[in-house]
Amino acid sequence: MAFLDNPTIILAHIRQSHVTSDDTGMCEMVLIDHDVDLEKFHPSSVTGDSGSEIQGSGGGENQGFVYAQSVDITSSWDFGIRRRSNTAQRLERLRKERQNQIKCKNVQWKERNASHSAEELSSLFEKKNFKVKSSNSGKQSILSVRLEQCPLQLNNPFNEYSKFDGKGHVGTTATKKIDVYLPLHTSQDKLLPMTVVTIANAKVHDLIGLICWQYTSEGREPKLNDNVSAYCLHIAEDDGEVDTDFPPLDSNEPIHKFGFNTLALVEKYSSPGLAAKQSLFVRINAAHGFSLIQVDSMKVTMKDILQKALKRRKGSQRGSGPQYRLEKQSEPNVPVDLDCTLESQNTLEFCLVRENSISGDKVEIDPVTNQKASTKFWIKQKPISIDSDLLCACDLAEEKSPSHAIFKLTYLSNHDSKHLYFESDAATVNEIVLKVNYILESRASTARADYIAQKQRKLSRRTSFSFQKEKKSGQQ
């Protein structure tokens, strides 16, 4: 233990201890430029003798204890980090130069010896002719063998669409698996769809090209058209039937926009002068839309087309239900002979008409001309169309026998009730009256309500009149 009674030494020791023991350097930042003012403790004398005495008496104790700012520690934002010495920097420079010298090789330049001949000099850098192939052919490479084994892939006109194949990207990139039917080919291909895996960001046009590429790579027959724009994709059922009620998919839309997993590749025909077609589409217009019926040839009968149209529309049942007929779209009210072929009609657009039908808005009545009566005295009646809201009642007027009955149809015309009488067999009349009353009850019109109210008032008036008449006769 040491005893110190000099405050200057103690204060300098404390400063030095804080600076050297602080790793952060904060003490040095605080104490820098704040050295101890020694003049407070040893004031200098004015006279030279007295100053020399004081310096001589106290020099032994105070010498070497006046601390200033450290030379090695600098005041900056990178405090606490000492600069490298010149020796360390010079050694680092020498080490880098030594490493660079390893990569270089010093070649001593010598004058050319004149004793070498021109042939010896030319043999040092001999010129080779690469155009002449060697006669000894080596072993055939594996790539050449594979290319010879796959000649179809080299001649595939849809190779540019193979980059959209997603079979090698399953698990790493978003893909979509689609079952594609080929209804334009044999019936065997219809039953077995071709599974195609495409990347999700591919467009419909790219998917069509990928289908054609895979079709050609698998060696299927017959060959496809080289133009991808000649095909389109339709929605298909699980059994391969093309749903022609919907338009084809837009070729510019991405395939992930559509959620269908079953599609059909259909060939579209831009002009009627193309080569022989394997399938045709007949347009059947109906009351609430249209249907496209696919046929194999122009030799099909109109009866088959009508059956397919009724099956698609689900509007007819076997043995019962309403009857339908086909008419040309360009020739209305002219039924088509069902025994004729499609080729004899000279058109592919027809209209499906329901026979003896009533629309939901109107009741149309076409009078039947009596062929037995003389046309000389027969006045031709005009067709009548009655709005359903003006229809008031339909009642059975007379039923004489099972083969003869009459029903009355009441409707409102110019604020007055009018009647129409129809004659037919009893079964038909009863069925018509029942169905028309069902329609009237389901459609609560104002005309029918007023007619029923007026009928009730007349009935109550008759009842009261008969009651008063019986009462007077009883009093007498």
277: CB partners within 8 A, 6+ apart: 267, 269
Q: What is the largest CA-CA distance in the chain?
A: 178
**Location of structure tokens 């007055």:** 416
What is the structure's pLDDT at 469? 63
Q: 300, 342 in Cβ contact below 8 A? A: yes
> Residue 214: what pLDDT?
92
Q: Give which of 178, 180, 175 is closest to 201, Cα–Cα.
A: 175
Under DSSP, the state recorded for 78 is: T
The whole-angstrom separation of Cα 239 and Cα 248 is: 18
Cα(218)–Cα(205) distance, integer angstroms: 20
Phi-psi region of 33 (alpha: psi -120 to 50; beta: other; left: phi over 0): left
Name the residue among 270, 361, 352 with its Cα closest to residue 315: 352
Listed in sequence order, the residues at least 6 apart from 197 whose beta carbon sits closer than 8 Å to its beta carbon are: 165, 166, 167, 170, 175, 176, 177, 178
Token pair in block for residue 98: 């030594």
Tell me what pLDDT residue 406 has.
92
DSSP 64: T
Rounded CA separation 391/402 (Å): 27
Do domains 152-267 and 380-460 share one topology? The answer is no
Contact 156, 217 (CB under 8 A): yes
Query: For the chain, how many residues are written?
Result: 476
Q: How is residue 254 written in tokens? A: 């991405």
Task: Tell me the C-alpha distance between 232 and 247, whole Å.
Answer: 10
| Res 319: pLDDT | 45
Give me the pLDDT at residue 21, please. 78
Helices (H), 178-273: 187-191, 204-217
380-460: which CATH topology?
Answer: PH-domain like (2.30.29)
Quick count: other Cβ atoms within 10 Å of Cβ 108?
4
Overall CATH class of domain 280-354 = alpha beta
Helix (H, G, I), strand (E, B) or coil at 180: strand
Quick one: 468 exposed, middle or buried, by C-beta within 10 A (0-12, 13-18, 19+)?
exposed
Convert the pLDDT of each residue in 330-380 to its tens digit: 888 888 888 888 888 888 899 988 776 656 677 777 666 555 554 444 555
Per-domain boundaries in the chain: 1-85, 152-267, 280-354, 380-460
- Looking at CATH, the fold of the domain delimited by 152-267 is given as Ubiquitin-like (UB roll) (3.10.20)
Residue-by-residue pLDDT tens, the chain, 476 positions: 566 677 777 777 887 887 777 777 777 776 665 555 555 555 544 444 444 444 444 444 444 444 444 545 555 555 556 677 888 889 999 999 888 877 777 788 877 666 777 787 777 777 777 777 666 566 788 888 877 766 555 578 888 999 999 988 877 889 999 999 986 655 554 568 899 999 999 999 999 999 999 998 888 888 888 888 889 999 988 888 888 778 889 889 999 888 889 999 988 764 333 344 455 788 888 876 788 888 878 888 999 888 888 887 664 444 445 678 899 988 888 888 888 888 888 888 999 887 766 566 777 776 665 555 544 445 556 777 788 788 888 888 888 888 889 999 888 888 788 888 888 889 988 988 888 888 888 777 888 888 888 888 888 877 776 656 666 666 65
**Which segments within 287-390 are labelled E, that is strand?**
289-295, 324-328, 331-335, 349-354, 362-365, 384-387
pLDDT digits (tens, 9 = 90+) for 75-115: 555 555 667 788 888 999 999 988 887 777 778 887 766 67
Angstrom distance (rounded) from CA 218 to CA 210: 12
Q: Rounded to the nearest 5°, which phi and psi values hold at 32? A: -70, 145
Cβ 198 vs Cβ 208: under 8 Å: no
**Amino acid in the structure at residue 47:** T
* Cα dist from 138 to 130, 134, 135, whole Å: 17, 10, 9
Cis peptide before 193 (omega within 30 of 0): no
On the CB side of 462, CA atoms within 13 Å amount to: 6
The helices-and-strands tally (H runs, E runs) of the chain is: 12, 14
Q: In what order do the strands lie in the sheet with 194-199?
A: 194-199, 175-181, 262-267, 231-235
* Concatenated DSSP letters of 232-250: EEEEB-TTS-B-TTSPPPP
Decide if 354 contacts 326 (C-beta within 8 A). Answer: no
Strands 324-328, 349-354: parallel, antiparallel or unpaired by DSSP? Answer: antiparallel
φ/ψ (deg, to 5) at 83: -70, 150
